[in-house]
Structure 1
Amino acid sequence: MSQMNDELVRPGVSGGLADVVRARFLLKLLVRKELKVRYRGSVLGLLWSYVKPGVQFVVFYVALGVFLGLEQSPTNKSGLPNYAIYLFSGIVLINFFTEALGNASRSIVGNGGLIKKIYLPRQLFPIASVWVSAVHFFPQLVILLAACLFTGWHPSLLQLAAAVIGFIIVALLAAGLGLLFGAANVYFRDSENFVDMLLMIATWASPVMYAWTMVQNKLGEVWFTIYQLNPITVAVETFHYAFWLPTTDGNTSIPPHLLSLWVPVALIISAGILLWGQLTFRRLEGRFAQEL
């Protein structure tokens, strides 16, 4: 007779993000499912990953770069050189964040039918949404790289590393907030409206379309320090450092102490929000099936 384990294990107890690692196969299936469902019946399919940011870039470039004079030209020396690269490098990153957080915050409610039928690690749904957003991010990154190479892009290894770290900052932040609002949305559907408002603010609260020096000059050092505590701000600045700065003539600069101070601070804040989101998710997930 085989030896039986006397220890009782409570079924359906979550192991947190560790379950996501252990259920990697399920995560891949969810990512494939989300991609298939999203583009079912679509003519362009994944090409929308190119069309949407392209239209967004043209609108902002014409409105801000041409009409408001943010593009440097022979008659406008106060603008930003290669403003098109500056703008698009920020757009691709902020689009990744807005798509990842928006979809992750709705992922639990959107998969309510599956959650009520079987048990599987619920963290898989927000993380899968972030992963799908990363799939959409990389085609945009390819376009950015092509544009940078066309304008004489010669980055250093430090600049390339800064871009990778910037992406990690945004991914951690989106996953943490996605877990937090994904769980809260099960109990309070107003969370969706709050997330939409947060995403609108995030686009303008980071130097995606304007220079960081404008914030520093208008608000002063104290408020600029508070501004730099936003991990999205730091991540966008690392993308500008990696993709835009090497295409300029060297007369531009990055915020002081970006790599030595603000990047570590942003990593710590994003990791802290991920931990907060995970703890909140684990506390609330026990009644997901009943609430849904």
Structure 2
Amino acid sequence: MAAVVPTRPAPGRGPGTRELVQNLTMREVRSQFKRTALGRLWSIINPLAIIAIYSLVFGFILVSPITPGTNSGIHVFALFLATALIPWSFFAAAILTGMGSIVNNEGLLSKVYFPRFILPVSSILAIAVTFGIELSLLTIVMAIAGGIEVFLFLPGLIAMAVIMIVFCIGVALMLSVAMVYFRDTQHFMALFIQLWFYATPIIYSQALVQSQEQKLQASGWNLFGEPFPLLFLYNLNPATLFTGAFRTMLYDFAWPAWPVWLGASVWALAMLGIGSLVFRRFSARMVEEL
């Protein structure tokens, strides 16, 4: 049987790229909780359940020490956890969903031509809608717990969310191509995301990392003859920058330092640039490989 070749639309006909992104994004949003009794409420129930479980384990059983919010005075482990866990949940879900967007839409790709990058972008934007709802509710909770001053950081929260979305799109562009050619990518990334989670200060504070750094240095650990820079290495992790920025604004009621903004922006632009180059280089034969 001859392969089905996607047909390009005639010039001037069919929806433009922006309209396609909007339509596919809304399709993904509507399908997220389709045929479920609670519908969109699952976007609230899921993070609450995860926060409750981690709070029980790391807040009461394996106690992870935290300090009160710098300006908010909040000293509740569940809220400390939520301010980083909710951004991380979007971060991980966006990368994994964007990674599988090409393979999961094999039938659509074989029937009609459209810019392939739209699939990873629209899948991530759909998850961003849920993230926006969760982040809005969390901001309201933090206002009740610590004061309405948290609303002053709304522009910063939106800006950091956009930067994180750009980063996730760049990573997803690369991984979606890798998934087409190497299906083991999904299994590797599932393991890597778990490791990435524990390598990011989410269930523990950066203060704990700093104390561990001091212990390592006191024990004689070094790197190329210099004291072991554990905290510096942690801050090279882009997820640390993203989740730390959200926690600073939501839990401490403070603005992240400019190196955090700079580092997060550099990571986002670098990954978007690399992801776009890789996607453009290998996307031509996607349909044949699928």
1:202 deviates by: 2.6
1:143 deviates by: 2.2
CA–CA distance in structure 1, aligned partners of residues 230 and 198 of structure 2: 16
Decide whether aligned partners of structure 1 residues 262 and 119 sit closer, same or farther in structure 2, where only a CA change above 3 A counts: same
What is the match of residue 200 of structure 1? 194
Q: Which runs of structure 2 are paired with 1:140-155 in the superposition (5 Å)?
A: 140-155=134-149
What is the match of residue 226 of structure 1? 233
The amino acid that maps onto 2:81 is L
CA deviation string 1:148-185 (max 9, x = no partner): 12112343787444323331232122111100000110
What is the match of residue 3 of structure 1? none
The amino acid that maps onto 1:58 is A
CA–CA distance in structure 1, aligned partners of residues 155 and 198 of structure 2: 25
What is the match of residue 53 of structure 1? 47
Mark the runs of 5 or more structure 2 residues left unpaired by the alignment: 1-6, 9-14, 68-73, 215-227
Aligned-residue identity in percent: 26
Count matched residues: 259
CA deviation string 1:52-109 (max 9, x = no partner): 1010000001111112233669xxxxxx822222111111100111111111000000
The amino acid that maps onto 1:229 is L
What is the match of residue 189 of structure 1? 183
Aligned partners of 2:99 and 2:120 also within 8 Å:
yes
CA–CA distance in structure 2, aligned partners of residues 71 and 219 of structure 1: 16
Moved more, 55-64 or 132-141: 132-141
Moved more, 47-56 or 148-157: 148-157
1:219 deviates by: 2.7
CA–CA distance in structure 1, aligned partners of residues 258 and 93 of structure 2: 29
What is the match of residue 127 of structure 2? 133
CA–CA distance in structure 2, aligned partners of residues 135 and 157 of structure 1: 19
Provide the TM-score with structure 2 as the length reference: 0.82
Provide the TM-score with structure 1 as the length reference: 0.82
Moved more, 273-282 or 213-222: 213-222
What is the match of residue 71 of structure 2? none
What is the match of residue 279 of structure 1? 277
Q: Secondary structure at the match of 2:189?
A: helix
CA–CA distance in structure 2, aligned partners of residues 143 and 270 of structure 1: 26
Decide whether aligned partners of structure 1 residues 42 and 157 sit closer, same or farther in structure 2, where only a CA change above 3 A counts: closer
CA RMSD of aligned residues (A): 2.3
Aligned partners of 1:90 and 1:208 also within 8 Å:
yes
CA–CA distance in structure 2, aligned partners of residues 55 and 71 of structure 1: 21
Q: Secondary structure at the match of 1:155?
A: helix
CA–CA distance in structure 2, aligned partners of residues 236 and 22 of structure 1: 35
